[in-house]
Structure 1
C-alpha cells in the first residue's frame, strides 16, 4: 500500500478546518493543517454558538475546554427605532443536550480548537504555509505550499501528499477557484462597521437587533466583559469615514455615555455576503465553511454552518479512510450539506431585509409585529427559533421510512407504502434525516449521562422497549460487528434492571439505556417507529418497525456505501458495497 504524508490535508486553520482535523484525530486518522498566517486570527468575528455545534465539540472532546468562553441562553431581541421590542428569540428547549444558543468569544475558542490537535501524534498545524498548488493524482492528492520564515520572508516550497484535501480557507478560497465551481448568490453593497470594546459599559447580557430606520445597529453582550456594536453605513458614507474618531463617537453616543472613554479592542468594516458554491467536491478535494458558502451575520449562523460541514464530512472521510465505506459515500457530502446552507442563507437574507427597512416599511413592520405578538402560536415561531431551518437530509445516507428504499427519504408517509397497514401511531412525519434528541439517561455504568456519551460517535441501532438482537439474523449480526454498530435498547428506567439481566445472554452486546426523563418515550410515542439507526453525526439514517430490522440494515448498507472488506483494509477505489 502506498504511504502518504498524511490522511487529509486541511487548508486553513479557521474554526472549520481545526474542528475537522480534531474530529479526524479522535477517530484515529491523521491530518495536516496548512495556514497562510503566522498565527490564528486574534480579533472576534463569530459571536453565536448553537447546540448543534456544541454537540460536535463534545464529540471532539473539546466542549469542556471551550465552555468557559461561552454564555448560555443568549436572548435576541428585535427592537425598532424607539427601542420597542418587536420580537424576542429566547428558545428554552435543550432537546440536543445543551441550551439552544450561546454567546462566545471566537479567538479564545479557536485557540482551544488548535490546542486540541496536540492530542494526536500524527496531526500537525503548520503556520506560514500558503497553498499555491493542488494536484489530484487519482489515488491521492498533492498540495504545494509556499513557506515563510518568522520574518515573513519566502523560505521555499513544500508538497504534502494525502488521501484527500479539504479547503477551509475562507471566502477567497484558493481551493474553490482550483475546483472551478460557481460561487452563486448575492453580495449586497451594504457595509457595516463592527466595534468590540472591553469592560462592557452597558452590562446587559444579551443581543439587541436595532431595526432603526435612521441607522440599523446591533448591540451584543459577550463573555469576559466584551460588548460588540455593529452599525450600518449609508451608501453616501465612504468606508474611510470609520477612521474618523468624531464619526465613530457619533455612532456610539446614542448607546453609551462618553464614547471616548471606551477601550476598543477591535474595529473593522465588512460587507454581508450570501453565496454558495455549486459543488462541494471535485475528485479528492472538498470545500467546507466559508470556502463553500458565505453566510450573512444576522442569525449568527456563519460559524455554526461551517461546523455542520465539518461534522458531516469528518465521519464520512473517517469511514472511507478506515475501509468501512466505498469512496461513493463522499458524494453525499454535497448532496446533504449544500441545500441546508443555501436555505440558511435565504433566511439570513430575509432577516437583513427586516432590519434595514426605511421609515414607511418600518412602520408597516412594527404594526405587523404587534399583531403577531397577540397570537401565541405566531409569537412562538420567533421565540423558539422555529424560523431557523433545522438540517433535514432528504437524500444521501438515509432510508425512506415508508418504502425502505435507500438514498432518499420523504418527510412524511401519510400511511402510504408498505408501512401503512402496520402502524397505529399518531405520527405521520418521518424522523429520517433529522438530528436525534439527546436527553440525559442512566445505564449500568453511568448515571445522569448525556446520550451521546452512551452511544458513542459511530453507528447505533436502537429499539424502544425490546432487545434489538431479537430481530437480527446471523448475517445482520455480522454486519453489526463489521461496522461497529452499537446495539442499544431504550427502556423506562423502571425496567432497566430487568432488561440488563434478560439481555445478558444476547448474541451480541446490548447497552440498556434507562429513560429517566421520559424524553425518549415521548419521542417514540409520536413517531411510527420502534427502531432507529443513528449515524455517527447523530442524525437518523433509518426508522422502522422493529420487525423490519433486516430490511433496514440492507438498505443502510447501500445508502452508506458500506464495504464488506475485512476490518482495517481500505475499500477498493470504485468498488461497490
Structure 2
C-alpha cells in the first residue's frame, strides 16, 4: 500500500474506533494525545457495570503514565503483594509475593474496572478537538477500498443510519467482534466447557486476611477469592457437571456458595453475578488492509494471569503510535504490518502463563491436585527454584522479539527489552520518573555522553524527523552540562548500561530499546520511504 495518504477532506476521520471498552478508550486517549482525528462508535450508553478485569501491572501503568493518567488511576487502586493457595481445611501450601518492580509502578495493583474505565473516558475528554465519541451508535457494516474504509453506523437515538469514512479502523468491539466476523478474520483455538459463576460484592465489614488474594485449591470446587479496589470483593466458582445457571439465580443460592468461606451478609452485600466460560483463542491475522483487530477482538485468554484486558491496552498503544507516524507522513504504511509481529508473541506468552496458573487453580483431577499440593511446598524450599516460585519470577518479562528494532534480541542484549524507569533528577534538582522527561515519542539516551556525538548528521536528521528527543544520563560523579541532562541519582540506569555494554540507546514510544550503539543507530528500514525533512521534537 502507498505511504502517501489522500487529503483529510475526503474523510470523516483519520481513524475510527469501533467499541469503547478498555482497548477502545485506551486507543482514543493516545490518538487524541497525538492530535489524530478520531471517531469512536459505541453501541452502549453507559460503562459496563461488571468488573471483569481485576488487576493492572507495572508495564500497563507505564503506558498510562505516558497518557498522563497514572496518578488518577493509582488513586483508585490497591497495590497487591501476596497471592496464596489454600485447601478447604485451612492448609496453605503456596504463597507468592509480587516481584520487585523496575518500571516505576507497583508490580501488581487490584482495580475496580468500571472506575478505571470512567477515569480513562475522562481522559479522552481532554481531546474534544480531535476525538468525537458517539454513544448509542451501533456498527452495522464495513467496506474497504485502496484509500480508505467505509462504515455503516446506526444511531439508536434517532433510529437512523449514516455512512462514515476513515483512513483506518480499529476493531475494539470485543470477543464477539462484528468487524472481525464481517471481514472473515477467524479466531482459532479452544473454549473450555466449564462455566464459572462470578459473584461481585461490596465489603460491609472486614474479615481476617480479606486483603489476600486466595485460591482455594479443591478438586471438587476450586474457588478464586479476591479483593478488588474501592472496597469490592469477588468470588469465582466453577459449576459442577450436574449444575446449571438456573440453579444460582437466587441470592440464597449464591450465599450457599459463599458459606464455606465464612462470608455472610454481615461482611458483604452481593451486588451482582454473572456466568463466564474461558477461552484460548487468537485470530490468524490482526490486520486486513486498513482494519486492525485490537484486544479481545484479536485474542482471548483465561483470566488467571490477569493479562486479558492489559494485553488489549498494550495492543491499543502499539497500533496508536504506529498510526501516528504513518498518518503524519513520517513513516511508510509498512510500519503497521509490524503491529501483530510485535504484539502476538507477548500475548502468547501471557496466555501460556494463564494456562500454567490454571493448573494451580482449577485442576479437577484429585490425584494431580494431591501431587501438586504436596510438591509445591517442597519446591519452594529448594535454593534454585524456590525464589523463582515465591517471587513470581516465572512471569516472562515484556520483550519485543521482532519488529521495529535494530539488532538481535537475546541473552545479555538490550535491544527488545524495556528500559528500567527509576526516578531521575534534572540540573535544577527537579525529580520525576524517567519517562516524564522523554515525551511521548522516540527518545535517544546517552550514558555520560551526549548521544548526538555518537550519531552521524544524517542519523540525527532521520531521528529528528521521527520526533525523537535527545537526553544525556549522568552518574552522580559527573556534573550535568545542560538543562537536558538527567541525573541517575538512584544508580539504576548507569549500571544497566554497563551490564549491556551500551553508551547510547534508542527508545521506542513504548520504552522498549529499539537500537544501541552496539547494534547500529540507523532507523530500521521498511517498505516505502521516510520523510526526510526534520520536524520539531516534542517538548519535554
TM-score scaled to structure 2, two decimals?
0.93
- Give distance in 1, aligned partners of 2:34 and 2:330: 13
Is 1:558 aligned to residue 525 of structure 2?
yes
Q: CA separation of 1:17/1:445 partners in 2, compared to 1, >3 Å: closer, same or farther? A: farther
8 Å CA contact 2:380, 2:390 repeated in 1? no
Deviations 1:4-34 (A, max 9, x none): 2111100101011000110111111121111
Is 1:208 aligned to residue 214 of structure 2?
yes
Q: How does 1:367-382 map to 2 (within 5 A)?
A: 367-382=374-389
Other structure's SS at 2:367 match? helix
- Give distance in 2, aligned partners of 1:386 and 1:541: 25
8 Å CA contact 2:86, 2:216 repeated in 1? yes
Other structure's SS at 1:32 match? strand
Q: Could you tell me which of 255, 258, 261 is aligned with 1:252?
A: 258
Instruction: Report the CA distance between 1:430 and its aligned residue.
Output: 1.2
What does residue 572 of structure 1 align with?
Answer: none
Other structure's SS at 1:303 match? helix
- Give distance in 2, aligned partners of 1:562 and 1:372: 54
What does residue 285 of structure 1 align with?
Answer: 291
Q: How does 1:316-465 map to 2 (within 5 A)?
A: 316-357=322-363, 358-400=365-407, 409-412=408-411, 429-445=412-428, 447-465=430-448
Deviations 1:375-430 (A, max 9, x none): 24322223332222233222110111xxxxxxxx3314xxxxxxxxxxxxxxxx21
Is 1:174 aligned to residue 178 of structure 2?
yes
- Give distance in 1, aligned partners of 2:268 and 2:8: 58
- Give distance in 1, aligned partners of 2:384 and 2:89: 26
- Give distance in 2, aligned partners of 1:562 and 1:458: 19
- Give distance in 1, aligned partners of 2:338 and 2:428: 36
Q: How does 1:8-23 map to 2 (within 5 A)?
A: 8-23=15-30
8 Å CA contact 1:431, 1:540 repeated in 2? yes
Other structure's SS at 1:223 match? coil
Q: Could you tell me which of 541, 548, 558 is aligned with 2:514?
A: 541
- Give distance in 1, aligned partners of 2:352 and 2:98: 21
What does residue 267 of structure 1 align with?
Answer: 273
- Give distance in 1, aligned partners of 2:135 and 2:182: 21
Q: How does 1:16-35 map to 2 (within 5 A)?
A: 16-35=23-42
Instruction: Report the CA distance between 1:96 and its aligned residue.
Output: 0.3
Instruction: Report the CA distance between 1:201 and its aligned residue.
Output: 4.2
What does residue 468 of structure 1 align with?
Answer: 451
Q: How does 1:515-526 map to 2 (within 5 A)?
A: 515-526=488-499
Deviations 1:247-305 (A, max 9, x none): 32221111134348741112111111111111110110001111111121111111111
What does residue 192 of structure 2 align with?
Answer: 188
What does residue 166 of structure 2 align with?
Answer: 162
Instruction: Report the CA distance between 1:86 and its aligned residue.
Output: 2.8
Other structure's SS at 1:78 match? strand
What does residue 133 of structure 2 align with?
Answer: 125
Other structure's SS at 2:271 match? strand
8 Å CA contact 1:325, 1:560 repeated in 2? no
Instruction: Report the CA distance between 1:139 and its aligned residue.
Output: 1.3
What does residue 486 of structure 1 align with?
Answer: 469
- Give distance in 2, aligned partners of 1:180 and 1:215: 38
Instruction: Report the CA distance between 1:567 and its aligned residue.
Output: 6.0
Instruction: Report the CA distance between 1:483 and its aligned residue.
Output: 2.0
- Give distance in 2, aligned partners of 1:335 and 1:361: 37
Answer with 390-399 or 533-542: which moved more: 390-399
What is the aligned residue count?
525
Structure 1 gap ranges (5+): 401-408, 413-428, 501-509, 569-577
8 Å CA contact 1:34, 1:130 repeated in 2? yes
TM-score scaled to structure 1, two decimals?
0.87
Structure 2 gap ranges (5+): 1-6, 536-540
Is 1:305 aligned to residue 303 of structure 2?
no
8 Å CA contact 1:249, 1:260 repeated in 2? no
Instruction: Report the CA distance between 1:206 and its aligned residue.
Output: 2.9
Q: CA separation of 1:562/1:364 partners in 2, compared to 1, >3 Å: closer, same or farther? A: farther
- Give distance in 2, aligned partners of 1:15 and 1:99: 20
- Give distance in 2, aligned partners of 1:369 and 1:445: 52
8 Å CA contact 1:276, 1:341 repeated in 2? no
Q: Could you tell me which of 49, 63, 72 is aligned with 1:65?
A: 72
Q: Could you tell me which of 42, 47, 59 is aligned with 1:40?
A: 47
8 Å CA contact 1:145, 1:159 repeated in 2? yes
8 Å CA contact 1:492, 1:518 repeated in 2? yes
